[in-house]
Amino acid sequence: MNLVSNVIVEFKREPFFPSPSDLERDLHRLSHMLEAAHRSSIEIRSSYDFYVLALKELNKGNMSEAFLYYDRCKYELTSAINESKLNIKGLRLHSPRTISYFFKLYGLYAVAFGVTSAFLFCYLIYRFPNAAILEVPLWSSFFAGLGASAQILTGMVDDLRRDGLATRYKRVWYMAIPLLSLIFGFMAYLLFSSGLIAFNVGSTSQSFSTMFVCFLAGFLTSWMITRLSELSRNID
């Protein structure tokens, strides 16, 4: 008899709902998932409707309704992704649309580009160690490009570690970072070779220090773009 009463009590417990902040974070992640699916030509109309309803209920403070709409939105999105798979004799295989979805969601395009550019700049450093323009060695730009590639990969790892998906480097603009870093690396070499800023070390250590500064200039390309943009707005 006690066992039966305990079971009844268990069934009468209130269902668990996340806190408003947790649900807001989950809906933010879900918005990125819906965006990646939409950009991959996956039909998300039904799941998006439930997403909007979840946002409305969250703003009203109705946590139970917001969570139920959020859960239904995830279900509809999963169903839409499964419907986009190829059905070959009852076997579900990923289609170009679903592959594109996962690449966009987890930033795999950025990862592939970052790895490719890193190998490219390593090859250029090895292949053309003595090439120069206006007596400035091109390895200064190549090391900056290597730093920019590392910055893209670091940003992707940070996104995946923090949010579980790509929230930044998922647009075409990140492909311009290594190209801009070539200019910053060139200028960094000019700055240190001019003697305006110098390390009190030997010639060999000076070369390695300059390489590191060029690498660091490339790694900070995104940060410098932001600072220069703010400066240009203040000038205007």
Encode pLDDT of 81-107 as tens digits. 999 998 887 788 889 999 999 998 988
Same domain, 116 and 224: yes
Answer yes or no: is 169 within a domain: yes
Same domain, 57 and 122: no
Give this prediction's pTM: 0.77
> What pLDDT does 200 receive?
52
The band of 208, judged by pLDDT with boundaries at 50, 70 and 90, is confident
Per the structure, the complete domain to which residue 185 belongs is given by 106-235
Same domain, 147 and 179: yes
Answer yes or no: is 42 within a domain: yes
Contacts of 222 (CB under 8 A, 6+ apart): 151, 155, 177
> What pLDDT does 5 receive?
45
Same domain, 75 and 162: no
* Alpha-carbon span 98 to 114, nearest angstrom: 22
Answer yes or no: is 98 within a domain: no
* Alpha-carbon span 203 to 220, nearest angstrom: 25
Task: Supply 62's token pair.
Answer: 């109705």
- The percent of residues in the chain predicted with pLDDT above 70, rounded, is 86
| pLDDT, mean of residues 7-25 | 63
Quick check: 8 pLDDT over 50? Answer: no
As a whole number, the mean pLDDT across the chain is 84
- Of residues 120 and 170, more confidence is placed in 120
Q: How many residues comprise the chain? A: 236
> What pLDDT does 204 receive?
59
Answer yes or no: is 97 within a domain: no
The total of structural domains in the chain comes to 2
Same domain, 135 and 207: yes
The band of 229, judged by pLDDT with boundaries at 50, 70 and 90, is confident
